[in-house]
Structure 1
Amino acid sequence: MFLPKYPDNPTPPPTHTHTPTTTNPAPVQRALPAVSIDKNTIAVVLVGGVVLTALLAAVAVTAISVAVAAVALRSLLRDHNRR
């Protein structure tokens, strides 16, 4: 089996070197559009958050109620089948 002989450093020298420029270009200043937030916007966001939180709570309460009803129904049916 033939194994090639490698030099001490198998990484070849870079073929392209970066030459830095003497002056740096000025950074680009990007102006962001002005956003005005008034009291109505804050009120709408707060009301929307309250409504979404209430809906999430309603879904959670419904899921817990269905789970409790399923456990109770299962217990009743199990007791009914034993008789």
Structure 2
Amino acid sequence: MKSYSRQQLALRNGQDKPEIWVAYQGLIYDVTHSRLWKNGKHYEHWAGQDLTDELQDAPHNANVFLKFEPVGKLEQ
């Protein structure tokens, strides 16, 4: 699986490039086709970043990521 830097992830924010990606626990997910991530925003969360620490405040659990295919790994 290809690795991406935080800078590369940040470009997939729904504004700079057509892809909308988010990271969770070291994996990067493509959420481009999710109606909940339209324009790179999902409620108070923005695409192009690691959402691992933010999930605890979400009304759902990590199972939400099972709907999306990982596209890469986030470089630490």
TM-score (norm 1): 0.13
TM-score (norm 2): 0.13
Structure with the greater alpha carbon radius of gyration: 1
Work out which structure has the larger RCO, using CA pairs closer than 8 Å and 6 or more positions apart in sequence. 2
Greater strand fraction, Structure 1 or Structure 2 = 2
Greater helix fraction, Structure 1 or Structure 2 = 1
